[in-house]
Amino acid sequence: MPVIAAKRTLRSHPTSPPRKSPRRCPVASPHSTPTRSRFGVDENQADPAPLKPNWNPRDGEQMKRAKLALHLSTAPASVVCREEEQNVILEFCKGCVEHQKSGSLYICGCPGTGKSLSMEKVKQHLLNWAKEAGLPLPDVLSVNCTTLTNTSDIFTKILGLNQIQGKKVSAMPLQQLQNMYSQKSPVKKMTLIVADELDYLITKDRAVLHDLFMLTTFPFSRCILIGVANAIDLADRFLPRLTSLNCKPIVVNFRAYSKDQILNILEERLNELPYTVFQQQALELCARKIAAASGDMRNALCICGSAIEMLEAEIRESACNLNTSLEERSPSKQNLPTTPDFIKKREFDIVKTDHMARALAKTYRSPVVDTIQSLPHHQQIVLCSSMKHFRGAKKDTILGELYKSYVGICKSSLIPPAGILEFSNMCRVLNDQGLIKLGQCREDKLRRVSPKVDEGDITFALQGIRFFQNCLE
């Protein structure tokens, strides 16, 4: 586990088992006090956990703690929903260490599914178990393959671990390793190598990846190799020879999180806080949306964080409005009893579904429609005229043709068209913004233009403008 610096005050209890948070009363509303309802208490629990009070978002300290609990860098005490996969990996490592034989394992899964996090826990567990069992502690090497300038540097790193002090690194670390593993040696320690982002090691001749996994096949090899990557079929595609040698790595697949798993993880993180921050429906909405989109836990945490920020922004805005309204009223009238009552009625207690919906919309909405609507008029005409060309079978055209159709639209609506130089400037601006793609050519008029934005988006963006109604059909 990385060392947690002293400034972090939050400590969760590492020994308490993960609890499911109690189900709320189905007719609960944000304003009703939740403590007294006995309806929805979970039958699985032996003792009904007390429902927590709502938080006070105006308290800076509570806000900080809430954001911290949901932050990406805060590693949770226990990794929920990955127990099965962790067990498989742990058993494999334990077997290798106990029987002093080498082996290889390949972990795959989409980004944000908890692979690196689980590996950290497994390493911890392994070291603890080895200590308890009295076996020699294995050396652990974690390498992130993106940091290697040369792919063969990984062998230098492995060698560095096995190095006796004072020995120089020779020019052929791979040879050295292979020699080492071909001879019987008195050292009983195993080496656990965790290679993150394994696909960075793939070169044209796939030699490095192959040699790395072949290290485990040597008779006196002492390394336990665990590779982590995104592709499911990496082992099959890039290591075909291993199958013939019958030492294919075991593949552990970390599937994308389902809605229930995401909900579990979020609640687990929020359990540490002594108050409720989110409305239950808001959490469910988030989990459902993320599970349908990518199953990426990082996205879920980010969106929850930005939902909290929406609430914060609302509070600030109302405080601003209140201040300005008070300032306006105070010279004219004194003792306004209605304003403080107004504040009391608008309680900002928990993050509701509309905050969550807004946060989701902000993340998943592409800025294309907004940008098209705010383009200057002539650039919109250019986009419109490009739609006609991109409807046919051939999806691109040249700048000269586009200019002709642009001029055509301008003429039919009696607008003076811009000259060819200004037109190519406008096309370059559109290319910069990623709305069309402009190729290279010596002649300006012969540059290829291809679309980058869906026709539906353009139609949707320009539908409200009367001018384009004729052109869009």
Binding site for other proteins (CB under 8 A): 2-5, 7-8, 64, 67-68, 71-75, 110-112, 144, 146-147, 149, 153, 197, 200, 230, 296, 298-299, 302, 305-306, 313, 316-317, 320, 363, 366-368, 370-371, 374-378, 411, 414, 416, 418-420, 422, 426, 429, 432-435, 452
Strand, helix or coil at 382?
helix
* Cα–Cα distance measured from residue 249 to residue 288, given in angstroms and rounded to the nearest whole number: 34
Residue carrying the six token digits 């010279």: 331
Nearest-approach distance from CB 14 to other proteins, in angstroms: 16
Nearest-approach distance from CB 41 to other proteins, in angstroms: 35
Nearest-approach distance from CB 229 to other proteins, in angstroms: 10
Contact call for residues 51 and 21 (beta carbons, < 8 A) = no
Nearest-approach distance from CB 132 to other proteins, in angstroms: 28
Nearest-approach distance from CB 411 to other proteins, in angstroms: 6
* Cα–Cα distance measured from residue 24 to residue 39, given in angstroms and rounded to the nearest whole number: 8
- 169 DSSP assignment: P
Residue carrying the six token digits 């008070």: 326
Contact call for residues 145 and 183 (beta carbons, < 8 A) = no
C-beta of 64 vs 101, nearer to other proteins: 64
Strand, helix or coil at 273?
coil
Nearest-approach distance from CB 265 to other proteins, in angstroms: 15
Rounded to the nearest 5 percent, the helix, strand and coil shares of the chain are 50, 10, 40
Exposed/middle/buried for residue 459 (C-beta within 10 Å: 0-12, 13-18, 19+): middle
Q: Are strands 448-451 and 397-398 parallel, antiparallel or unpaired?
A: antiparallel
Output the DSSP codes for 342-365.
Answer: HHHHS---SB-HHHHHHHHHHHH-
Nearest-approach distance from CB 214 to other proteins, in angstroms: 25
- Residue 405's Cβ-side half-sphere holds a number of Cα atoms within 13 Å equal to 16
Pick the closest to residue 14 from 94, 84, 75 (CA basis): 75
C-beta of 274 vs 376, nearer to other proteins: 376
